[in-house]
Amino acid sequence: MNHKKNSIFDVSFEDLKDILVDLGQPDYRIKQLWRSLYHEGKKSFSEITNISKDLRNILSKRFYIDLFKPKIYLSSKDLSTDKALFELKDGELIETVLMRYNSDGHRNSRKTVCISTQAGCALGCTFCATGQQGFRRNLTFGEIVKQVLYMRQLALSEDMKEVAKGSRTKGEIQGVTNIVFMGMGEPLANYDNIISAIRILNDPLGLNIGARHITVSTVGLVPQILKLSEEKIQINLAVSLHASDNETRSSTMPINKRYPIEELINACKKYISKTGRRIFFEYVLLSEHNDSEEHAYKLGKLLNGIKCHVNLIPVNPTDEGIYGRTKSDKARNFQAKLKKFNIPSTLRSEKGIDINAGCGQLRSRIEL
């Protein structure tokens, strides 16, 4: 019987287990294969030497190991941020960003990967480069995970170089420490695939990244937020708020007309009640649009008493965008106003401005 070859990364653990059982393999074989693919990052079946040559040959006739190779790869001048543009099998282009953070006395050094979940986006946020491109398709869970596999290989290679120099011990090898679903696309609009990807990323036999080091961002799809609250995964949820009233939010985020702020905030409260987890509210500062003292006061009143943390983010300007960056002193003043409502916040440090690290910006450049 002829089988069309597929990416092995688009086969779930259970389906792959069933295939091996049908081939007469013992139960432990699936764990060996899974660990080789995800934990060890093997690039071909010939490298998976803990299974027999006959089994490797059978699997290679049904599947291929198609790790990503970047079409374009850029590094920022300060070497803190790398960005890759990957071309998928059907020619679609997606972006992935690796961000390096040094220890600051409060948190250990970490390497965070920002991953895409869709080719394009249907939600049309006016300040977002991806939102200006339109939607083409969802990514498979394999395409989501392969972004992390590529960046992890790079991160581990950097760690090993530090070990060789004596600036890090083998016990301090980290690779990728954090994942944020904040790249191209709306993660919760590709719900099933992101949940499957998260389970692989979190799996001790997979990439073994702690659930509390994984953050999923959403523009505010209320039904999916409520559905996510029922999942038995202790991940972080980040909600892109970007305004404190419906008129301002609807002008930049069309989704607000379907799920207005009152409905969104109620869903967030239910999520917190169900999970016990705080929510991160993302707030992109847009000059002369949502960054006044009055906006800060409204935001403070809206979120007062909610278990949350606000990330204030200076916008990455785009060629097609109409918004400028809020000046740093005005951003600090905005943050000070929030503090009066006892709302913790972080003024996000800027990463990769010189390499267009904002999601969708590199793809836009390629298509010019």
Domains and CATH numbers, the chain: 6-64 (1.10.150.530), 70-367 (3.20.20.70)
Using alpha carbons, list the distances in angstroms from residue 286 to 2, 128, 283, 308, 323. Answer: 56, 12, 9, 21, 6
The predicted structure's pLDDT at residue 223: 98
SS3 324: coil
The string of pLDDT tens digits covering residues 277-319 is: 999 999 999 988 999 999 999 999 999 999 999 999 888 765 5
Catalytic one of 95, 143, 186, 282: 95
**Mean pLDDT score, 38-67:** 94
Total-model pTM: 0.91
CB 254 within 8 A of CB 297: no
Condensed to tens digits (0 to 9), the pLDDT of residues 123-174 reads 777 777 766 677 889 999 999 999 999 999 999 999 899 889 988 888 888 8
Rounded to 10 deg, the angle between the 28-38 and 13-22 helix axes is: 130
For residue range 166-200, what is the model confidence (pLDDT) as tens digits?
888 888 888 999 999 999 999 999 999 999 999 99
**Whole-number Å distance between alpha carbons of 157 and 27:** 32
Q: Is 359 a catalytic residue?
A: yes
Task: Round to whole Å and give the CA distance between 139 and 156.
Answer: 25
The answer to whether 112 touches 177, Cβ cutoff 8 Å, is yes
CA pair distance 252, 348, nearest whole angstrom: 20
State how far Cα 146 lies from the chain centre: 12
Residue 95 annotated as catalytic: yes
